[in-house]
Structure 1
Amino acid sequence: MSNITMNAWDAISAAKAECFITIENERYNFMQALKMEAKIEKVKSEIPILGRAMKGNKTVGMKGTGSASFHYNTSIFRDILYKYQQSGKDVYFDIQVTNEDPTSSVGRQTIILKDCNLNGGLLTKFDATGEYLEEEFEFTFESWEMPERFGTIAGMQ
């Protein structure tokens, strides 16, 4: 049994990130983002197998989904929805997120979500009792890249 544990400073700070969104060849620093999450779901088929009580599971594809919350101070996503309403042309975009905490020994990781597409979005809002406004959107994406990977924490290998 090993007594090696992770150092506290190797936990990645939740706020130490940067996010860029590229829409129709325009790159935006999405600094008003509050949080973002993207997930891959493996699509599986159940496979009956003769002689077994349990079915097998075979991966037959993948589906990418995500969500983002951000300060209500940009119209770029409403512009995408408006463009679709006016022309029928749907707009796809890329999201690049880099997590890098200079205190951690693992370095940085960058994920690029390719061909993102809004599921919908908020058109307008106010809150007479609130301190500030925020909004969120959900999206799908078609593929992803990982040009930078976290290093291995000392003691893992």
Structure 2
Amino acid sequence: MDNVVMKGKDTLSASLAECFVTIGSRRYNFMQAISIEAKIEKTKTEVPILGKTGKGNKATGWKGTGSATFHYNTSIFRQMMIDYKETGEDIYFDMQITNDDPTSEAGRQTIILKDCNINGGILAKFNAGEEYLEEDMEFTFEDFSMPESFAELTGFLTN
């Protein structure tokens, strides 16, 4: 039997993605994004098990966190912080991220992060020694879905 390997063309181009942010009834094409990463971490509790010297682990929940780096040329997140400062009302938003490299047989994947909430952010910035300005943002999210998932590559499933 031949050893099946992934084709180089099936890797995903890192820049062939899109990101939309929905705040209230307004949807923004977040084309300023340079990189975004969203993670889920399961919360686990150690549980004793009769007859074993070690403990087991039981998942008891999860938390969603994320980070983004983007060009410093939009004020929407600063405005969210100003609104929170002035009214005490925190603002939650949704973020839709799609990877889509037409060369790859993997196809498209879309993840929707729901009820995102920024942890803080940069209010003002400059750096005379740099070519352009960028900023980082940390956030949490309360829920997520995957309306589109990557296709299984040829040879991935073996049984």
Q: TM-score range by the shorter chain?
A: over 0.9
Where does the alignment leave 5 or more consecutive residues of structure 2 unmatched?
Answer: none
Q: How much identity, in percent, do the aligned residues show?
A: 62
Report the AA paired with residue 156 of structure 2: M
Aligned counterpart, 1:51: 51
Instruction: Report the Cα distance in structure 1 between the residues aligned to 2:25 and 2:138, rounded to whole angstroms.
Output: 22
SS in 1 for 2:109: strand
Instruction: Report the Cα distance in structure 1 between the residues aligned to 2:53 and 2:29, rounded to whole angstroms.
Output: 53
- The more displaced of 43-52 and 6-15 is 43-52
Which runs of at least 4 in structure 1 moved beyond 6 Å after TM superposition?
A: none
Matches within 5 A, 1:29-108: 29-108=29-108
Aligned counterpart, 1:23: 23
SS in 2 for 1:13: coil
Aligned counterpart, 2:13: 13
Q: Post-superposition shift, 1:2?
A: 4.7
SS in 2 for 1:114: strand
Q: Please give the root-mean-square deviation of Cα atoms over the aligned residues, in Å.
A: 0.8
Report the AA paired with residue 122 of structure 2: L
Report the AA paired with residue 129 of structure 2: T
Q: How far does the alpha carbon of each residue in 1:79-108 deviate from its partner, in whole angstroms, 9 at most, with x for none?
A: 111100000000000000000000001110
Q: How many residue pairs align between the two structures?
A: 157
Aligned counterpart, 2:153: 153
After TM superposition, the score normalised by the length of structure 1 is 0.98
Q: How far does the alpha carbon of each residue in 1:50-93 deviate from its partner, in whole angstroms, 9 at most, with x for none?
A: 22111110000010000000000000000111100000000000
Aligned counterpart, 1:138: 138
- The more displaced of 47-56 and 7-16 is 47-56
Report the AA paired with residue 43 of structure 1: T
Report the AA paired with residue 21 of structure 1: V
Instruction: Report the Cα distance in structure 1 between the residues aligned to 2:126 and 2:100, rounded to whole angstroms.
Output: 34
SS in 1 for 2:34: strand
Where does the alignment leave 5 or more consecutive residues of structure 1 unmatched?
Answer: none
SS in 2 for 1:74: coil
After TM superposition, the score normalised by the length of structure 2 is 0.97
